[in-house]
Structure 1
């Protein structure tokens, strides 16, 4: 006889075991995907629509209902609790990082020379964290250039630009040039942002460098002002080859030359051409790229008088006049004569 035919055999299907209630998770919008949703929106959704509490695998006995039951220590917390815990950990990590960076020795930094010279006392840990260049300059071992380790002099830099650097280091932001009222203040702030850009170029701080040039361009646009030829020459000379500021300066000059309403032409930038031969090449390339590929008229076709040595008239051969100069008359045997430069 097969064991399944034994009347004494007991099967689990003969008993009704209690099953935990099925949990129906709330979903987001039909087109939403957690992987594509911003963390802030997803967190707000979870807090607004909290998930049901976790239940035990087996319902408690009838005689135990109504009494407090201990929660399984191995059960996973609800999703809102996990998100809140992660947020607390991030905040705690940021607080610990800030406390560490704002501790330790202070560094005396002297910027500028003469009457504009200013001095700041900044935390060494904060400077070293944001710039490897400053970390190497401020180290105190024997191989460092700054053997004292507590002082740094920047005589060639502008205090206005370094002031913006200090603000970003301790506040994490720059003032928006759009909040300034007058055009003069906007332009002055843009000039300070260029000084900040030069500092970031040397300190290797790309994030702040990009913020500085954005504020510079925004300041010029809102002030409706552009640097003159002398300022462009100075900025171009101080910027390294391939710098975005070189590209910006040549495009500003190209636009001024091509603007029919502007009173500037190529003659205005003669000093730039003389001091920087590369400026002329970059300027021509900027005009070529900014003109949209428009081809000039063919100079070998068209009005011939444009290239004749005479004044304007209806008949260039009959009423034309040569340019003023020293001429003498030469006679030929056949009766013709011509003027040549003496």
Structure 2
């Protein structure tokens, strides 16, 4: 399996992902490839149309259309990833309306799913996951805890829209005692931030909040916390909510 954790390597190997929808004719012509997720007895296989994968994921486009072994065997192995999380990816690709259902969201699953979508460079899916998380927190009357920030840093998600949202959610929640502080399972033993950059981000955000006193980030609409690095617009984003600029 090629090392694709560095998004730049994938960008060099592929052009910008085409965000147009797959036609029925393309389905009939498309090969079916196998995505093997997990290790050993816990591994699960997902047969998916190649065109569907390569259209929505530069990661799979690089794997399957490049000169690597995956392009020859049409088998991609994601040994370090969670099969349950990949089910969300597969369902989303096939436009399953229940793929992002709010009742299936928990604090832990959000991070696992978002990290996988980030790894696969699926920006539209990342946006949908974050939309669903905002709705989930609003319904539960929860805000992110300081443990969230540490946890996201430990997962390499510090410079993502999810991190930005959680940072703003935590700071906003400090001034709203009626809002529950969720995500204690992410707190470290000391109950404080261990990441120096995250601490700087937190101090900066708290200073901004003192000056601006913004509203509830869980209720913000538009593209405030969306990633459009692939050139897509919210009008083509699929999921529990469709946000238009």
Same fold (TM over 0.5): yes
CA shift in 2, pair 1:234/1:114, >3 Å:
farther
Hey, what's the Cα distance between the residues in 1 that align with 2:29 and 2:144?
42
Shift of 1:280: 0.7
Shift of 1:114: 5.6
- Structure with higher RCO (Cα < 8 A, 6+ apart): 2
| TM-score, normalised via structure 1 length | 0.46
- Residue in 2 aligned with 1:165? 89
Shift of 1:213: 0.8
Secondary structure of the residue that 1:198 maps to in structure 2?
helix
Q: Is the 8 A contact 1:236 1:249 kept in 2?
A: no
- Residue in 2 aligned with 1:254? 171
CA shift in 2, pair 1:248/1:113, >3 Å:
farther
- Residue in 2 aligned with 1:119? 45
Shift of 1:222: 1.0
Shift of 1:243: 1.2
- Residue in 1 aligned with 2:56? 130
Secondary structure of the residue that 1:108 maps to in structure 2?
strand
In structure 1, list runs of 5 or more residues that go unmatched. Answer: 1-93, 295-342
CA shift in 2, pair 1:102/1:237, >3 Å:
farther
Note the 1:78-117 alignment, pairs <5 A.
Answer: 97-113=23-39, 116-117=42-43
Hey, what's the Cα distance between the residues in 2 that align with 1:150 and 1:106?
8
Hey, what's the Cα distance between the residues in 2 that align with 1:281 and 1:247?
13
CA shift in 2, pair 1:236/1:123, >3 Å:
same
| TM-score, normalised via structure 2 length | 0.62
Which of 224, 233, 239 is the aligned partner of 2:150?
Answer: 233
Secondary structure of the residue that 1:109 maps to in structure 2?
strand
Shift of 1:228: 4.9
Secondary structure of the residue that 2:30 maps to in structure 1?
coil
In structure 2, list runs of 5 or more residues that go unmatched. Answer: 1-20, 182-186, 214-245
- Residue in 2 aligned with 1:149? 73
Is residue 273 of structure 1 aligned with residue 193 of structure 2? yes
Aligned residue pairs total: 187
Shift of 1:171: 2.4
